[in-house]
Amino acid sequence: RAKHDGRGGYRFFEPAMDAEARKRRQMELDLHDAIAGGQLSLMFQPLFNLSEARVSAFEALLRWNHPTRGLVSPADFIPLAEDTGLILPIGEWVIREACRAARHWPDHVRIAVNVSPVQFRSPGLSAVILQALAESGLAPHRLELEITESLFIDNPAATLSSLHGLRDLGVRVALDDFGTGYSSLSYLRAFPFDKIKIDRSFIMDLLSSDGATAIIRSITTLAEALGMETTAEGVENAGQLDILREQGCSHIQGFYFSKPISEAHVAAMLHDDAPPAMRLAS
């Protein structure tokens, strides 16, 4: 089926686009059922404090176990959830579930939760956080919200005021995927983030490019001067770890230490974190 495109040519790709649109519409409907159907779950990936040689936090990572498609990656369904507004109930579920999971962990172990820009801009976020903290009994300083640089592009003033509002609740704020967006040093000065998470792309280049090492060095120097922690994302081998340690990175996260694990495995790791700690001890 070719359609006239109104400019003297023909388009042959429309049936394929219809199929794509139909699939998307179906995924949208399915996503509606995901929460009530118990298809969402969280995995937890540890963040390791290098100087204390122990786990300092777990990041909650969302999983969707679709009835027929199997495990759908968050990279595939978060954008859909954002477009449809479903990110609000899903994001609320994540915050409550993450706080519930963390409530019996040791005091020094935090829970980090990713907050989508859409969720961040929604007026209800503070109330959701307050309720999750109240019902779990989790101390606010043990909850760390991960936001991305993209929030500063549209309306930096509103973003700053929301960030201060969240800080007033007593929760921590981390800047995720640092270096990938429209990085600007001005917002590092404007808001005292607790932590900068250096994007995995810089870690991937560490063993092949001196430039990547220099970038890590400048980020950790800057962060330290500003009183912020640094976490390197996506650390996959000992060579990367050595460089990160040398360049003054305070925390690492990645498959080299641990993949995302289930809540039950978190308990086991916290009970006996000797094996990974031994591997990482300098």
Q: Which of 146, 162, 203, 251 binds Mg ion (CB under 5 A)?
A: 146
241 vs 205: CA distance, rounded Å: 12
Q: Which of these segments, 131-139, 212-220, 234-242, 271-279, binds ligand C2E (CB under 6 A)?
A: 234-242
Task: Compare residues 71 and 225 and give the one whose CB is closer to ligand C2E.
Answer: 71
Cβ closest to Mg ion, residue 92 vs residue 176: 176
Instruction: Work out the number of other CB atoms within 10 angstroms of the CB of residue 108.
Output: 12
Q: Is 94 in the site for ligand C2E (CB under 6 A)?
A: yes
- DSSP for 243-276, written as a single string: HHHHTT--EE-STTT---B-HHHHHHHHH--HHH
For the chain, how big is the Rg over CA atoms in Å?
A: 21
Cβ closest to Mg ion, residue 177 vs residue 229: 177
Q: Is 236 in the site for ligand C2E (CB under 6 A)?
A: yes
Among 30, 97, 144, 176, binds Mg ion (CB under 5 A): 176
Residue closer to Mg ion (CB basis): 30 or 216: 216
By CB under 6 A, residue 12 contacts ligand C2E? no
Stretch of 125-133, 208-216, 219-227, 251-259 contacting ligand C2E, by CB under 6 A? 251-259
Examine residue 114 and tell whether it contacts ligand C2E (CB under 6 A): yes
Site for ligand C2E in 188-207 (CB under 6 A): none
What does residue 251 show for φ and ψ, rounded to 5 degrees?
-135, 155
Instruction: List the single partner that 30 binds among ligand C2E, Mg ion, none, CB under 5 to 8 Å by kind.
Output: none
Cβ within 8 Å of residue 255, ≥6 positions away: 234, 235, 236
Task: Report if residue 177 touches Mg ion, rule: CB under 5 A.
Answer: yes
Question: Tokens 């009835």, residue?
Answer: 67
Q: Which residue is nearest to ligand C2E (CB)?
A: 254
Phi, psi of 156 (to 5 degrees): -60, -35
Query: Rounded distance, CA 169 to CA 185, Å?
Result: 25
Residues from 31 through 90 that contact ligand C2E (CB under 6 A): 45, 60-62, 73-75, 78
- Judged by DSSP in three states, 115 sits in coil
Rule CB under 5 A: is residue 114 a binding residue for Mg ion? Answer: yes
* DSSP SS3 for 279: helix
DSSP letter for each residue of 60-106: EEEEEEETTTEEEPHHHHHHHHHHHSTHHHHHHHHHHHHHHHHTTS-
Nearest residue to 234 (alpha-carbon basis) of 214, 209, 207:
207
Q: Would you tell me which residues interact with ligand C2E (CB under 6 A)?
A: 45, 60-62, 73-75, 78, 91, 94, 114, 116, 146, 176-177, 233-236, 253-255, 260
